């Protein structure tokens, strides 16, 4: 019997069979307060992964760079918009921790401030390659990399953010499933 690590999976090879146990790809979506954008991205990712029958391949979470909303549920305005689209989810805000860099393969951020914060944390561990903008996967981004923060705006801003995150998450899942992005890849 042979046991080895190959392409992200632990493989056990008896005489004529190969059995591989694949490690899940671990993703964390990050925004400022973890009550609007990042928990929505987490919920949408789970929704589409379950729809495609691939949820077992992923471990997904979300966090905020700030501590203002630790333990709070998502903003009711984004929950209303999500419900209109048939998406219902539960979440409690949490703050990103430096140890999360040991736990997750990828961090998908919403804006430049969050990116700067995450890169500062990543530099302490030499793991800047794990931080990406979520909007990189939005086919309609047209060079825009930020998901706008609708916190101080009206309901229409929340609808816009829902659509942007929805497209971006679908693009991200496609990139992961097609092998364009993997847990072993460095950006």
- Digitized pLDDT (tens) for each residue of the chain, 187 residues in all: 445 445 555 545 555 555 566 899 999 999 999 999 999 999 999 999 999 999 999 999 999 999 999 999 999 999 999 999 999 999 999 999 999 999 999 999 999 999 999 999 999 999 999 999 999 999 999 999 999 999 999 999 999 999 999 999 999 999 999 999 876 665 4
- Specify if 99 maps to a domain: yes
Annotation marks residue 94 as catalytic: no
What is d(CA 173, CA 119) in angstroms, rounded to the nearest whole number?
23
- Specify if 140 maps to a domain: yes
Q: Are 42 and 61 in contact (CB under 8 A)?
A: yes
- Specify if 185 maps to a domain: no
DSSP H stretches of helix in 53-154: 76-84, 100-103, 112-123
- Specify if 135 maps to a domain: yes
Q: How many domains does the chain have?
A: 1
Among 31, 105, 135, 138, the one annotated catalytic: 31
Q: Are 31 and 111 in contact (CB under 8 A)?
A: yes
* Parent domain of 59: 24-177
Among 75, 111, 138, 149, the one annotated catalytic: 149
Tokens encoding 59:
């471990």
Annotation marks residue 11 as catalytic: no
- Specify if 67 maps to a domain: yes
Other CB atoms within a 10 A radius of the CB of residue 154 amount to: 9
* pLDDT at residue 182 in the model: 76
What is d(CA 178, CA 52) in angstroms, rounded to the nearest whole number?
13
The CATH number linked to 111 is 3.40.50.2300
- Specify if 16 maps to a domain: no
Annotation marks residue 52 as catalytic: no
Tokens encoding 187:
């950006």
- Specify if 10 maps to a domain: no
- Residues 6 or more apart whose CB falls under 8 angstroms from that of 108 comprise 27, 28, 29, 30, 41, 132, 133, 134, 172
* pLDDT at residue 163 in the model: 99
- Specify if 107 maps to a domain: yes
Q: Report CA dihedral (181, 32, 90, 46) to the nearest 10 degrees.
A: -10
Among 37, 77, 79, 135, the one annotated catalytic: 37
* pLDDT at residue 22 in the model: 81
């Amino acid at each position: 019997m042979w046991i080895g690590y190959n392409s992200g999976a632990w493989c056990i090879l008896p005489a004529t069979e190969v059995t591989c146990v694949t490690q899940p790809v671990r993703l964390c979506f990050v925004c400022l307060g973890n009550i609007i954008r990042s928990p929505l991205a987490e919920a949408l990712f789970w929704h589409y992964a379950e729809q495609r029958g691939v949820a077992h391949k992923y471990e997904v979470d979300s966090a905020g760079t700030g501590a203002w909303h630790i333990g709070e549920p998502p903003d009711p305005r984004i929950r209303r918009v999500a419900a209109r689209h048939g998406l219902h989810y539960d979440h409690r805000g949490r703050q990103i921790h430096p140890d999360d860099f040991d736990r997750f393969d990828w961090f998908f951020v919403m804006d430049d401030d969050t990116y700067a914060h995450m890169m500062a944390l990543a530099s302490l561990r030499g793991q800047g390659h794990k931080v990406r903008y979520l909007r990189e996967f939005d086919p309609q981004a047209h060079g825009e990399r930020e998901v706008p923060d609708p916190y101080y705006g009206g309901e229409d801003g929340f609808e816009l953010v829902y659509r942007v995150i929805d497209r971006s998450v679908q693009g991200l899942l496609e990139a992961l499933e097609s092998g364009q992005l993997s847990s072993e890849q460095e950006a």
